[in-house]
Structure 1
Amino acid sequence: MSVQKVHADGAQGAKLSRGLGFIDLWSVGVGALIGGGIFTVIGPAAAQAGPALFVAFLIAGVVALLSSLSYAEMASLWPYEGASYAYSKFAFLPISKDLAQWMALLCSMLYFLSFAFAAGAVNMGFAGYFQYLFPSLSPQFVAPIVSVLITLLLLAGIKTTGKVNTIFSIIQVAALFVISIIAMFSNPSGPFTYPEFLPNGWTGVFAATALIAFGQMQVEAVLTLGEEAKNPRRNLPLAQISALATVVVLYICTGYGVVSAADIKALSESSAPLSLAVEKVLPVGGAMLISIAALTATGTSTVGCLLGSSRMLFAAAREKAIPAIFGKVNEKTKVPANAIIFTGVIALATTLMSSFGLGQAISIAVGAAVFSNWLMMALMNIALIITRIKQPHLRASFRYPLNIKNIPVLAIIATVAAMAILAYIEPIPLLIGISWVIVITIWYFAYSRKRWEFLDESELED
C-alpha cells in the first residue's frame, strides 16, 4: 500500500499540504508552549516555590529541553504526522509489534484528550482578558465564539493558520519580553531580598515545577505537523528546540520579574498574578500591554492545542487504530477536516463547561493533562534509548549530544527527572491520568489490535 493509496482510500486522493516553513513552525511551537499557563500558573506556583519561583521555571525548562532533544532526534528520523505516535511506533517495533502499536495509541490518545480539554480552559482565559478591553462582553459569551472561530481558522488550511499564528506569536513574545525586563529592572535583586528564599524547601520548588508544566507541556506540538512541514528533517528539530529555548528563557525572566515586582503573598492570592506585577511597575499602559500579550498567547495556545490534537487523531485514524473517518483529508484545504471538527467540538464542550461553572472539573482535567505530558516526556526519552540500542544503524540528521557507547546519557537523566516530577502531581489528576492509560489500553485490545493497518516508513514518505 502506497501513501497515495492510503489517502485515496480515506480521502478521495487528497494529501496533506507542506505549507509550513521554519518561521511558521517556530511560531506554532512558541504559541503552543507559552499559552495561557504563564498567566494563570504563576500564582499557585509562587505559593509553593516562594521567591525561588524562577528556579522552578528553570528546572522545568531544563527537563523539557533535555526531553526535547529526544523528540528532535526522532523527528529527524521519522518526520511524520502525529510526532510521538510515529516515534513510539517505530522505536518499539523491533521489540514487539503489539508494544509498538499500543505505545503509539497511548501517546496519540493521551495527547488528544489532554489538549482538547486544555483548549477549553485556555479559551476561558482568552475571554477573561478580552473582557478587560471590552467590559460589556462577558467571558461566558466570548469564550465559545473564540473556540468556534479558531476551529474555523484551522479548517481554512495550514498556510492560513500558519501565517495568522506567526503574527500572533511575534506579538506575544515581544510583549512578554518587554514586561519581564521592566519587572526585573524594577528590583534587580528582588527574589534574594526575602527573608527566606525557599520557604517550603525544595519540595515546594518541585511542586511548583509540576504546576509549571501546564505552560510547557506542548513540547511536541510543532512536531505533530511532520507531513505539513517543508524540509521536515531539518526544520522540525530546529523549530522545536529554538521555540522551546525561546519560551524557557522567557519563562525564567518572567518568574524572576514577577517576584521582583510584587509581594509573594499577593501573587499567590491573585487571580491575575502577572497583571498584578506589571501594574505595580507600569501603572500607565501596563494593563493594556498584559491584555495584548494574554490575548495573543491564549489564542495561539488554542491553535496549538487543536492542531496537535487533530493531527494525533488523524495519525491514528489512517491506520484504523480509531475510526477511519477521522483520517480523511479535505481535497480543497488539504487538512484532516473531520479530525479538526471533532477536536473543536470537544474543546467547545469543555469551554461551555467552564462557562457554566464547572471550572473545577476542567482544572482537574488539565491536571491530568500535565500528568500525560510528563509521562510522555519520559516515554519519548525511553523510546530514543531503545532506538539507539535496537537500531544502531540509524543515523539521524540531528543527534542527541553527550553519548557513551551510543547511549544518550542526558536522556536517561531526563527520564528519571520526568518520572520524579509525576510524584508531585495532585492525587485526583494523577488518578484520572492513570485511568486514561487503562481505558486506552482496553480500547487497544478490544478495538484497535484487530483493525490496525500498519504503515511502514516507505508508505509514509512522499
Structure 2
Amino acid sequence: MAVANNSTTSNLKRGLGFVDLWSVGVGALIGGGIFTVIGPAVAEAGPGLFIAFIIAGVVATLSSMSYAELASIWPYQGASYAYSKFAFAPISSHLGKLVALWCAGLYFLSFSFAAGAVNLGFAGYFNFIFPNLPPTIVAPVISIVITGLLLVGIKATGKVNTFFSIIQVVALFAIAVIAISANPLGPFEHNNFLPNGWSGVFAATALIAFGQMQVEAVLTLGEEAKNPRRNLPLAQVSALITVVILYIVTGYGVVSSADPAELAASSAPLSLAIENVLPGIGAVLIAIAALTATGTSTLGCLLGSSRMLYAGARENAFPRIFAKVGEKSGAPYTAIIFTGIIALLATMTTVLGYAKAINLLVSAAVFANWFMMALMNIALVIVRVTRKELTPSFRYPINIRNIPILAILAAIACIWILTYIEPLPLLIGFSWIVLLTIWYFVYSKDRWDLLDEEQMKELTRNTEKESN
C-alpha cells in the first residue's frame, strides 16, 4: 500500500517539546496513582505502604527503559502498537500484527477504564471541597469537559497540562515534607507494620501500578513531538523517575500523619492526611492540587488511548473512521470522541458504589498495563536478537552479549505481579485478549493496510524536519 493512501491521516501537528512531553507523563502519572489508589493500596499494605511504592517504582522504571529504547528506534504514533508490529515481525508477520492489536486493544481498555477511575478520584476530592455536589454528578461532567479540551488541539492541551503538572509536583513535595517533618518515624510506630504480610504489599504493588501505567501516554504522541527520537525517551524516563520519587516519599508521609484504616476508608485520603498536620487550609489546598492532578491524568489517559486507536485505524486494523484528523486542530477527533464516550461509560460505574467502582476500574486497567509491560520487555529482547543492525539513540543499560538482562527480570516481575490481581479483573482482561484475537482473524487480518518501517519514516519525515 502506498503512503499516499494515508494522506488524510498524516497531518498531525508537532507542537510538543520536551517540557510538554514531560508534563504529559507527570500529569498522567501523578493523578492516576497517588490521588486515586492510595486508599485501596493502604488497605492492603498498611503502614508499609511506601514499600509497595518502591517495588512498583523499580519494576516500572526497568520496564520504561525497554519502552524508551523502542521509542528511540520507532518514534511513531501508537507506541507499543508500533513497537510490537516491528519487533515481533521477524518471527512472523501475523504474530507482529496480532501482538500489536493486543497492545492497542489493551491500552485502549486500560486507559479508558483508567480515565473513568481518575474521574471518580477527581469527583471525590471535589466533593471534599463542595460536599453538596456528589461524585456521581461531578465525575461525568469532568469527563466531558476534558474530552472537549482534547478536541481543541495538542498545542493548547500541552500548555494547560504543563501548568497544572508543575502545581502537582510542588504540591506533592509539600505534602511529603510537611507530613514527614511532623512524624519522621510514623510508619514504624505501628504495632503491625505489615497487617496482611508480604501478600498485602504485593497486592498493593499491583494496584499502585495504576500510577505507573500512564507512562506510555508520552510515547503515543510520537508524531506530535518535536525531535522525537531524543525527546520521547528522555521525557518518558525522566517523568517516571520524578513521579516514583514523589510517590515513595508521599506514601511514607501520609502513613506518618494518619491512621491507615482511616486512609483506606476515605475518598480523599491525602486531604485527610494533611488535615491532621495542617488543619483547615492545608486540606483544601491539597484537594485543589488533587483536582489539577486527577484532571491532567484523565487528559493523559484520553490522549494516549485516542492516539492508539488512531494508529491502528489508519492501517485499517480498526475501522478507518477513527483515523480522521481535524484540519485546524490537527487532532484525531473521531478517536477522541469515541474514547471520551468509553471513559464516560466507565465513569458511570459509580452505580456500583464509589469504592467498588474505583477498585474494578483500577484492577482491570492494571492487568492491561502489567501485561503490556511484560510484552514490551520481551519485544526489546527479540529486537536485540533479531535486529542487531539497529542503532537506537537510547540503549537499555547492563547487557550481557547484547541481551538486556534487567528487561528479562522486569518481564518476569510484571507477570508475577499479575497473580495478585483479583479474579474478576483478570477475567475481564483475558476475555478482552480473546476478543481482540477474534477481531484480528474476523476483521483485521485481511483488511490490514500495513505501513512498514520505510513507509512510516516517509510518512513522518516532513513533520520531523519541521520540528528540528
TM-score of Structure 1 vs Structure 2, range by shorter chain: over 0.9
Task: Describe how 1:343-358 pairs up with structure 2 within 5 A.
Answer: 343-354=339-350
1:6 maps onto 2:2 in alignment: no
Indicate whether 1:271 and 2:289 are aligned.
Answer: no
Q: In 2, distance between residues paired with 1:141 and 1:432?
A: 26
- Please list, as runs of the form range in 1=range in 2, the aligned pairs for 1:149-164 lying within 5 A after superposition: 149-164=145-160
Q: For the Cα contact (< 8 Å) 2:117–2:361, is it kept in 1?
A: no
Q: Counterpart of 1:439 in structure 2: which amino acid?
A: L
Cα 1:333–1:355 change in 2 (3 A) is farther
Secondary structure of 1:17's counterpart equals coil
Correspondence for 1:168 among 164, 168, 184: 164
Among 289, 296, 299, the alignment partner of 2:292 is: 296
Aligned twin of 1:254 = 250
- What is the aligned partner in structure 2 of residue 180 from structure 1? 176
Report the Cα distance in structure 2 between the residues aligned to 1:134 and 1:24, rounded to whole angstroms: 31
Q: Distance in 2 between matches of 1:50 and 1:117?
A: 26
| Matching residue of 1:282 | 278
**TM-score (norm. length: structure 2):** 0.94
Equivalent residue, structure 2, for 1:227: 223
Structure 1 spans left out of the alignment, 5+ residues = none
1:405 has 2:388 as partner: no
Corresponding residue to 2:441 among 442, 445, 459 = 445
- Contact 2:117-2:357 at 8 Å conserved across structures: no
Q: Alpha-carbon deviation of 1:426?
A: 0.6
Q: What SS does the aligned partner of 1:19 have?
A: coil
Change (3 A) 1:232 1:150: same
Check whether the contact 1:7–1:329 (CA below 8 A) recurs between aligned residues: no
Correspondence list, 1:59-458, <5 A: 59-354=55-350, 360=356, 363-458=359-454
CA deviation after TM superposition for structure 1 residue 211, in Å: 1.3
In 2, distance between residues paired with 1:272 and 1:139? 12
Counterparts in 2 of 1:313 and 1:162: CA distance versus 1, 3 Å: same
- C-alpha displacement of 1:3: 4.1
Q: Given that residues 120 and 358 in structure 2 are in contact (C-alpha distance below 8 angstroms), is that contact kept between their aligned partners in structure 1?
A: no
User: Residues 59, 109 of structure 1: CA spacing in aligned structure 2 closer, same or farther, 3 A cutoff?
Assistant: same
Measured after TM superposition, the shift of residue 403 of structure 1 is 0.2
Q: Please identify, of 354-363 and 110-119, the stretch whose mean Cα deviation from structure 2 is larger.
A: 354-363
State the AA in 2 paired with 1:111.
Y
Mean alpha-carbon deviation: is it higher for 448-457 or for 125-134? 125-134
- Aligned equivalents of 1:198 and 1:296: distance in 2? 32
SS in 2 for 1:320: coil
Partners in 1 of 2:126 and 2:191 — Cα distance? Answer: 38
- Flag the 1:268–1:127 CA change in 2: closer, same or farther, 3 A: closer
What number of residue pairs does the alignment pair up? 458
Q: Does the 8 Å contact 1:139/1:355 carry over to 2?
A: no
Q: Aligned AA for 1:230?
A: K
* Equivalent pair of 1:402/1:410 in contact (CA under 8 Å): yes
Q: Which residue pairs with 1:40 in the alignment? A: 36
CA distance in 2 between partners of 1:404 and 1:352 (Å) = 49
Q: Percent identity?
A: 69
Per the alignment, do residues 149 and 43 of structure 1 end up closer, same or farther by CA in structure 2, a change over 3 Å counting? closer
Q: CA deviation at 1:359?
A: 6.7
Shift of 1:362: 6.0
Q: Which runs of 5+ in 2 are unaligned?
A: 462-468
The whole-number CA distance in structure 2 between the counterparts of 1:110 and 1:447 is 17
In the TM superposition, residue 203 of structure 1 has moved relative to its aligned partner by: 1.7
Residue 331 of structure 1 deviates from its aligned partner by: 1.3
Whole-Å Cα distance in 1 between the matches of residues 244 and 357 of structure 2? 29
1:230-279, CA deviations, whole angstroms, 9 ceiling, x for partnerless residues? Answer: 00000000000000001100100111101111122322333332222111
8 A Cα contact 1:25 1:239, kept in partner = yes
CA-atom RMSD, angstroms? 1.6
Task: Indicate how the Cα distance of structure 1 residues 253 and 438 shifts in structure 2: closer, same or farther if over 3 A, else same.
Answer: same
Once residues 88 and 77 of structure 2 are traced to their aligned partners in structure 1, the CA distance between those partners, rounded to angstroms, is 17
Residues 116-175 of structure 1, C-alpha deviation per residue, up to 9 Å, x if partnerless?
Answer: 122122212212322333444333333222111111111111000000010111111111
Q: Is the 8 A contact 2:32 2:114 kept in 1?
A: no
Take 2:196 and 2:125, find their aligned partners in 1: how far apart are those partners? 31
AA partner of residue 175 (structure 1): A
**2:229 counterpart letter in structure 1:** R
Letter in 2 for 1:420: W
Contact 1:36 1:294 in 2 (8 A): no
TM-score (ref. length: structure 1): 0.96
State the 1:312 CA deviation.
0.5
The separation in 1 between residues aligned to 2:22 and 2:314, in whole angstroms, is 27
2:44 and 2:401 map into 1 onto residues whose CA distance is 40
Q: 1:398 and 1:336 mapped to 2: Cα distance?
A: 29
The residue identity in structure 2 corresponding to 1:455 is: L
Is the Cα–Cα contact under 8 Å of residues 40 and 264 in structure 2 kept in the other structure?
yes
Of 37-46 and 106-115, the range deviating more from structure 2: 37-46
Within the candidate set 11, 29, 49, 1:53 is matched to: 49
State how far apart, in whole Å, the 1-side matches of 2:347 and 2:265 are: 24
